[in-house]
Amino acid sequence: MRICNENNKEPYMKLYIIVPCYNEEAVLKETTRRLTDLLNHMVDDKVISADSRIFYVNDGSNDDTWLIIEQLHQTTPYVCGINLANNSGHQNALVAGLTATKDEADCFVTIDADLQDDIQAIPEMVTRHAEGCDIVYGVRNERKTDTVFKRTTALMFYKLMKSLGVKTIYNHADYRLMSKRAVDQLLQYKERNLFLRGIVPLIGFKTSNVYYQRDKRFAGESKYPFFKMLNFAIDGITSFSIKPVRMVLAMGVLFVFISFVILAWVFIAYASKNVVPGWTSLILSVWFVGGCILIGLGLVGEYIGKIYTEVKARPRFNIERIIRK
């Protein structure tokens, strides 16, 4: 969808910025101020249409996030929003925002409400889109603002995903621009276990990267503590690769081979009458093999659980209210 300037008939690009929110009352007003200033400059520079919007997605917050969005809708020309009936998760909130707006814009930028991702990368993203890219990834050029633990675990995660055959963009989260046709293709993926960082590269349209410096959160607390990040990583791995299950099979074969080696050693020990009675090795073996069995069962159970979730085909989110301009 494009509109034309009445004076020179130049087509302007209509941009929607999709912002998922969960208990973000501390940052929303500042976020709106910064994004409004950015959109005003881009409109003045004739980069985007004045009909562009900031589209907040309230993901079942239990604070005043939705109330603030409603107030901003009344006072700020750009602000629209959608209120989900319950907390559906960050990935589903992004899809809800894209689903609600897919027919209203030429391109869409998804960004978190805390604006740790540099919004000054958005004009460059729009430029790349105008040059023919359907997907433009916002990629961090470094991770200095992260703790050593987070940097290390993030690097391990991306390397693991690559080794499992999952195509991801290193140091890219969910800060990206997508064209309307890219969004239409994304919404064809109906799985309930969403990992957008792995799904978006599967679309296959022309892509590009824009690099930026990530800032510290200016207010509020992170909505991704360690255990939520761990669950997110597990979802990413099990949603895109069956290699962990094959690894369990390979591990089982290895253990059987080792057991035959031990059996041969026992026969040799008996023949040489060099048998030392004891139970330590037996107990350690039981614990080790038992632990591996439980790990294997857990991995298989993870996949079975995902199948269970998918076959029920429940809605990924429930919309309570949408406010538009």
pTM above 0.75, yes or no: no
Name the percent of the chain in helix, strand, coil, to the closest 5: 50, 15, 35
Determine the 3-state secondary structure of 115 from DSSP.
coil
Buried residues in 37-53 as b, exposed as e (16+ CB within 10 A): ebbeebbeeebbbebbb
Joined together, the tokens standing for residue 220 give 């509020």
The pLDDT, as a whole number, for residue 11 is: 54
Amino acid at position 315, single letter: P
* Whole-angstrom distance, CA of residue 208 vs CA of residue 190: 25
Query: Tokens at residue 273, please?
Result: 């009458």
| DSSP letter, residue 13 | E
CATH of domain 10-224+315-323: 3.90.550.10
| Cα–Cα distance, 146 to 148 (Å, whole number) | 7
Q: Where are the domains of the chain?
A: 10-224+315-323, 243-312
Confirm if 212 and 173 have CB atoms less than 8 A apart: no
Amino acid occupying residue 229: M
Question: Residue ranges of the chain with pLDDT lower than 70?
Answer: 1-11, 143-147, 149-150, 154, 158, 161, 164, 216-246, 249, 252-253, 256, 259-260, 262-263, 265-266, 269-270, 273-281, 283-284, 286-287, 291, 298
Q: Judging by DSSP bridges, how do beta strands 172-179 and 107-110 pair with one another? A: antiparallel
Asked if residue 49 lies in contact with residue 122, where contact means CB atoms within 8 angstroms, the answer is no
Residue with tokens 């824009």: 210
Extract the runs of DSSP E, i.e. beta strands, from the chain: 2-4, 11-13, 15-21, 53-58, 79-84, 107-110, 135-140, 172-179, 207-212, 319-323
Confidence at residue 10, expressed as pLDDT on a 0 to 100 scale: 46
Q: 59, 98 in Cβ contact below 8 A? A: no
Please give the pLDDT value at position 79.
96
- The per-residue pLDDT for 238 is 59
C-beta neighbour count of 298 within 10 angstroms: 11
Res 277: pLDDT: 65
pLDDT at 234: 63
- Name the DSSP class of 214: P
Q: Return the pLDDT at 1.
A: 41
Cα distance between residue 291 and residue 255, in whole Å: 12
